């Protein structure tokens, strides 16, 4: 094996689920609702990565970014906060627009 061989990095590339579920949202610091949201987004994130690889291949370039690199540069917080309150799981919309009570 080469001297600079990184077994763990190679393992993360061989098992993309391990790379995804060890990424930023799952290491703490995110709200529980955000973590639940990202748990269900593995397929979508992987498809975005494959799209980036496809763009590079169509341009005649060799793919340069690994899945773990893609996850490291992914704008997790920006993507989650750009969603409206109704799209965020576990977010109650009543805190933004409380219900009106009528007094008869």
Output the pLDDT for position 59.
94
Place of tokens 């805190």: 95
Mean pLDDT of 41-58: 94
Residue spans per domain, the chain: 15-70
Integer Cα distance of 76 and 87 in angstroms: 15
User: Is pLDDT at 92 greater than 90 in this prediction?
Assistant: no
Q: What is the DSSP letter of 100?
A: P
pTM confidence score? 0.72
If we measure between CA atoms, which residue out of 67, 80, 88 comes closest to residue 25?
A: 80
Question: Is 33 or 55 the better-scoring residue by pLDDT?
Answer: 55
Residue 30's contacts (CB-CB under 8 Å, 6 or more residues apart) are: 24, 38, 76
Mean pLDDT of 15-22: 89
Output the pLDDT for position 52.
94
User: Is pLDDT at 53 greater than 60 in this prediction?
Assistant: yes
Place of tokens 């498809």: 47
If we measure between CA atoms, which residue out of 29, 7, 17, 34 comes closest to residue 68?
A: 17
Mean pLDDT of 34-44: 90
């Amino acid at each position: 094996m080469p001297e600079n061989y990184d077994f763990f990095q190679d393992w993360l590339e061989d098992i993309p689920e391990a790379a995804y579920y060890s990424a930023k949202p799952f290491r703490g610091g995110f709200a529980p609702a955000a973590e639940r949201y990202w748990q269900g987004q593995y397929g979508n994130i992987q498809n975005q990565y494959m799209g980036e690889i496809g763009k590079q291949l169509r341009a005649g370039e060799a793919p340069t970014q690994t899945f773990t690199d893609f996850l490291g540069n992914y704008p997790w917080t920006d993507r989650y906060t750009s969603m409206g309150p109704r799209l965020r799981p576990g977010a109650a919309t009543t805190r933004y627009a409380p219900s009106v009570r009528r007094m008869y």
